[in-house]
Amino acid sequence: MTANRLAESLLALSQQEELADLPKDYLLSESEDEGDNDGERKHQKLLEAISSLDGKNRRKLAERSEASLKVSEFNVSSEGSGEKLVLADLLEPVKTSSSLATVKKQLSRVKSKKTVELPLNKEEIERIHREVAFNKTAQVLSKWDPVVLKNRQAEQLVFPLEKEEPAIAPIEHVLSGWKARTPLEQEIFNLLHKNKQPVTDPLLTPVEKASLRAMSLEEAKMRRAELQRARALQSYYEAKARREKKIKSKKYHKVVKKGKAKKALKEFEQLRKVNPAAALEELEKIEKARMMERMSLKHQNSGKWAKSKAIMAKYDLEARQAMQEQLSKNKELTQKLQVASESEEEEGGTEDVEELLVPDVVNEVQMNADGPNPWMLRSCTSDTKEAATQEDPEQLPELEAHGVSESEGEERPVAEEEILLREFEERRSLRKRSELSQDAEPAGSQETKDSGSQEVLSELRVLSQKLKENHQSRKQKASSEGTIPQVQREEPAPEEEEPLLLQRPERVQTLEELEELGKEECFQNKELPRPVLEGQQSERTPNNRPDAPKEKKKKEQMIDLQNLLTTQSPSVKSLAVPTIEELLSLVSSQEDEEERNHRQMIKEAFAGDDVIRDFLKEKREAVEASKPKDVDLTLPGWGEWGGVGLKPSAKKRRRFLIKAPEGPPRKDKNLPNVIINEKRNIHAAAHQVRVLPYPFTHHWQFERTIQTPIGSTWNTQRAFQKLTTPKVVTKPGHIINPIKAEDVGYRSSSRSDLSVIQRNPKRITTRHKKQLKKCSVD
């Protein structure tokens, strides 16, 4: 209601206003009305302003509700439709026409398109063009790189380039047109025919033909295909294996290993059922593997992995487990075989004394007997052999006392050793049998064989100890030294007594070390009785020896001038073996000759010293003159008193003296009777090379290339020609065309260009590559 009322009032107001405005145009001079009117309008305006404070009505104010005389073109409102004005609507005519559809479409297209960016400036465009062009050309040109390189390195280039094929007719053609004419030729041909030697066309003997015919083409092809297939399969398999090997996952490997083990076990089971003998063999192999592992002691706690795990074990349960696993494995592997351990235990239990006597050696021997370990066996025997040879000379007298006479020779030590071992065995077996407290019985039984068992026993003890020691030391060293020199060294001291004997192995070690030091010394050492002395000697000798020649050398270098000239040279008595009449004539002239001689001798004796002194003086002067001079830059009187009789202080002089660098040693340094001029021959130097040519960095390198003379005076004609071949040879009267792709074996098609590039990708520089990449991106 209120709204309606308001609207009505407003309407009324406006009407009044219109009415009031109308007479205004016509009646300009109506003043009384004017004032009234004016006040009303103001009031009206005020009202309007107040009403417009309300937000809702604000827009409605702009509405043109009534046609008026003054229509503002800026106040067009689209109030009625309530939607935005579309450009196309402007075109909408009263009635639709088809001709406007195309324009509409164009308009829509124009709207859909984005704005076109500014074109690049000219320089940039050109640069891009250039880059693209460069890449293309570089690509094309890079195929010439190898050719250029080859031509640069070539000894000689011959132009024009086209090569003529050497017109060599095949020998068959030559032969076919040739007939034997002379009797000799005919005879030869007869011979050839007799031996079925082919003379003409195929040039193959029947045998060769047959061998050719042995395989048909299809067969060969098939075989080839088969081979190819096999090769391909192999390569696949290899690739697969390689890939699998590269897998880093530990889990995977664990699984694989386990699977393999399982498989092996299964197979073994099967094998046991099917073929027990083979299974046994297999078992042996497994046993061997175990032994190997035991020997190598792979599963101890000493490895890198194990150590790291040990550190981790405190905190990591898994690591602890792994370690325990390893330890258990180690235990398992290092467990001794039952047989051996049993005997040991028995022994240990039964006799304490014997343990000292026969500990390891016996065990090892037994193991040798049991286990199939040829390496151990051999080393053991060889060791014992060595020991025997060493002990041999000492043992000899004792053995002789026992009445055991053995043949001297090579086999003796070995045999002796064997006897020894057998004795041990016997003793052990006896002990086993008699269990406890049967010391007397074995001794008695032994007495049947040997005269004095006690003696033997003591001897054996010593021997066994030595054996052991020897063995251990050998094992530690594990050096493959020849036994022969050792034996040689041992032999010269057979008179040594028992206590000395026990020290033997150590001494041997020292001697061996000595031997390593120097072979020649050991020959000296052999003669010397005492090893300690030997050691000293050997230490002294290397020091002394090099000294002696050095001193000698030094002495030799500086030759005494006095000696040089005054050495008494042998004089010749009979010069021209004179005949008798010549002799007579000689005798006649002898007297005055002697007189002359005498006079000359005196003269020489006085002159000689002078000559030498003069020469030495001259030489000293020459040496002084050739020495580079020091430069003295002291300024007397600068910073101190100067004047006549005053010299600058020594400190100052020292400070301002520039010492000349010491030149190379003189060539005649060690030649007292020679003065060699050290001055440079400038005239000759003008002819020498003074600039190193390109690829050389040191003058020695270049000198080596010019040391061989190339003139015909020093070379044969052929060599001279070869050494002086011109770098470029041109045929007179021929046109030299520029090089073409066909000349060097390239096809000129674009494909060949690409192939060339692919073949040598390294030829393209990195810069080229970058540019190529850029191009592809663009």
Token duo for residue 531: 């090893």
Taking the complex as a whole, the smallest distance from the CB of residue 304 to other proteins amounts, in Å, to: 24
Stretch that binds other proteins, among 53-61, 90-98, 681-689, 734-742 (CB under 8 A): 681-689
Taking the complex as a whole, the smallest distance from the CB of residue 182 to other proteins amounts, in Å, to: 17
Taking the complex as a whole, the smallest distance from the CB of residue 214 to other proteins amounts, in Å, to: 21
**What is d(CA 102, CA 109) in angstroms, rounded to the nearest whole number?**
10
Nearest CA to 620 out of 661, 660, 668 is that of 668
Q: Which is nearer to other proteins, 437 or 567 (CB)?
A: 567
Q: Interaction with other proteins in 135-164: which residues (CB under 8 A)?
A: 153
251 binds other proteins (CB under 8 A): no
DSSP string, 411-476: HHHHHHHHHHHHHHHHHHHHHHHH-SS-SHHHHHHHHHHSS-HHHHHHHHHHHHHHHHHHHHHHHH
- Among 62, 154, 565, 584, which residue interacts with other proteins (rule: CB under 8 A)? 565
- Among 67, 87, 110, 685, which residue interacts with other proteins (rule: CB under 8 A)? 685
187 binds other proteins (CB under 8 A): no
Backbone angles phi, psi at 621, to 5 degrees: -60, -45
Taking the complex as a whole, the smallest distance from the CB of residue 675 to other proteins amounts, in Å, to: 4
Stretch that binds other proteins, among 47-55, 233-241, 449-457, 666-674 (CB under 8 A): 666-674
Helix axes 2-26, 31-53, angle to 10 degrees: 150
DSSP string, 104-132: HHHHHHHHHS-PPPPPPPHHHHHHHHHHH
178 binds other proteins (CB under 8 A): no
- Among 160, 259, 663, 709, which residue interacts with other proteins (rule: CB under 8 A)? 709
Taking the complex as a whole, the smallest distance from the CB of residue 716 to other proteins amounts, in Å, to: 5
| Residues 434 and 442: beta-carbon distance below 8 Å | yes
Nearest CA to 497 out of 596, 422, 397, 400 is that of 397
551 binds other proteins (CB under 8 A): yes
Q: Which is nearer to other proteins, 180 or 612 (CB)?
A: 612
- Among 554, 651, 654, 762, which residue interacts with other proteins (rule: CB under 8 A)? 554
Taking the complex as a whole, the smallest distance from the CB of residue 205 to other proteins amounts, in Å, to: 8
| Residues 624 and 630: beta-carbon distance below 8 Å | no
Q: What is the largest CA-CA distance in the chain?
A: 194
Give CA angle at 146 (145, 151), nearest 5°: 100
Taking the complex as a whole, the smallest distance from the CB of residue 161 to other proteins amounts, in Å, to: 24
R_g over Cα of the chain: 60
- Among 600, 649, 749, 765, which residue interacts with other proteins (rule: CB under 8 A)? 600
660 binds other proteins (CB under 8 A): no
* 219 Cβ contact list (under 8 Å, min separation 6): none
Q: Interaction with other proteins in 396-435: which residues (CB under 8 A)?
A: none
705 binds other proteins (CB under 8 A): yes
Q: Tokens 């021959």 belong to which residue?
A: 681
Q: Interaction with other proteins in 610-629: which residues (CB under 8 A)?
A: 611-612, 614-615, 618
| Identity of the residue numbered 255 | V
194 binds other proteins (CB under 8 A): no
196 binds other proteins (CB under 8 A): no
- Cis peptide bond upstream of 505, omega within 30: no
Q: Which is nearer to other proteins, 397 or 608 (CB)?
A: 608
Determine whether 454 is exposed, middle or buried from the number of CB atoms within 10 Å of its CB (0-12, 13-18, 19+).
exposed
DSSP-derived secondary structure letter, 315: T
690 binds other proteins (CB under 8 A): yes
488 binds other proteins (CB under 8 A): no
760 binds other proteins (CB under 8 A): no
- Among 567, 725, 758, 766, which residue interacts with other proteins (rule: CB under 8 A)? 567
Taking the complex as a whole, the smallest distance from the CB of residue 259 to other proteins amounts, in Å, to: 35
Binding mask 722-741 for other proteins (x = CB under 8 A): xx------------------
Backbone angles phi, psi at 158, to 5 degrees: -115, 125
- Among 75, 96, 569, 758, which residue interacts with other proteins (rule: CB under 8 A)? 569
The SS3 assignment for 371 reads coil
- Among 4, 476, 707, 776, which residue interacts with other proteins (rule: CB under 8 A)? 707
